[in-house]
Amino acid sequence: MAKMSLDPVQVMSGQVKELRFSPSANGADGGSREEEEEAEPRAVEGRRVRKVEGGVFFPKPENAVTVAVSSRVLFRTEREQKVYEEQGVEEYLRYQIEHENEPFAPGPAFPFVKALEAVNARLRELYPLSEELFDIVLVTYNHAHVGVRLINTINHHNLFIERFCMTGGSSPIGYLKAWQTNLYLSADADKVREALAEGIAAATMFVAEKVTEVSESQLRVAFDGDAVLFSDESERIFKAHGLDKFFEHERDNEDTLLDHGPLKGFLEALGKLQKKFYAKGQRLNCPIRTYLVTARSAASSGIRALKTLRAWGLEIDEALFLAGAPKGPMLEKIRPHIYFDDQMFHVEGAAEMGTVAAHVPYGIAQKHNQKHNAGARK
């Protein structure tokens, strides 16, 4: 396996321990809005307790934080992908059916999804009737025949994923909009760009040869700033006029808010769930932690970023202004479940240190990504 592939080959060499939740952690969810009567949760041997009301308990899309995950990033499917590419779709389908009782191994998004489920367990303990929680949708281009293997794999890994979108080769973007998706993770960079163009937060996932262990009890999400949380306005100044003009522009516009970037809405959704824990006195024990990891300098250009976040009403738990220093070593210490950046140079650097990094193909930096410009300021 290559150390870092620009083609999103899904390889996962490590995995977190399987999480098991008690019945009290899984009944329903709790929020302030939902006061309807619910049936008691039923235990299923070997699986977690699920809320039952004539079926499985699901949040409504308008209430949930919906994360759509491609099967190629949730599971290891490179062998099957090779069959498809070398032998065609019919042989691929035959192969999948013949192996449908063999579960896929975990892929790069697997620890992230497990962490989402761990947060849901805590939310259900605190808010047994709320629908404000993470809802995971499995999105795949696969034919429905492959669904049996995917379901078997989900059950094998004890994942709580009941919503599937199997498009049989068609684009999933319209379905993502119908699900009111807050984040889409895929191995297909073209579909990620298509999602971003439709206003859906999205990123392409990559995997390093080295994978760092991550927390099983706290979801950690790290974001770059410009062209991820914020627009690429300042990045355009740097690319066109250099560092001195960039600093001058930031000083002159210190009190002018940055426009929003493609993942601002996802940070907002995370913050909404964090506040549910704060309301129960659990700020110091919150199972969600967010990070800003930016190449901006603190004194010369950081204040505008912080003022923008504050004006948006968004909190970042930790902010690292690296002044151009490599991000990989800092991310190795943070150990996020996922890190979002718009420049492949930083994605690769993070991956080399064992961080699961996701590329957000947005903004002016996309014209420079293939050059791997080490002097990039983002």
Residues identified as active-site: 224
Distance CA 308, CA 196 (A): 22
Tally of CB atoms within 10 A around 268: 17
Q: Tell which residue, 261, 324, 351, 336, has the closest CA to residue 291.
A: 336
The CA-based angle 283-288-290, given to 5 degrees, is 100
Place of tokens 């999602």: 195
Q: Tell which residue, 310, 200, 179, has the closest CA to residue 262.
A: 200
Pair type for strands 219-223 and 288-294: parallel
Half-sphere exposure at residue 51, Cβ-oriented, CA atoms within 13 angstroms: 21
CA quadruple 114, 272, 358, 250: dihedral, nearest 10: -160
Is 373 within 8 Å of 349 (Cβ atoms)? no
> What separation in angstroms does the CA of 53 have from each of 36, 37, 125?
11, 9, 18
Is 212 within 8 Å of 335 (Cβ atoms)? yes
Greatest distance between any 2 Cα atoms in the chain: 64
In degrees and rounded to multiples of 5, residue 321 shows phi and psi of: -100, 110
Distance CA 168, CA 144 (A): 7
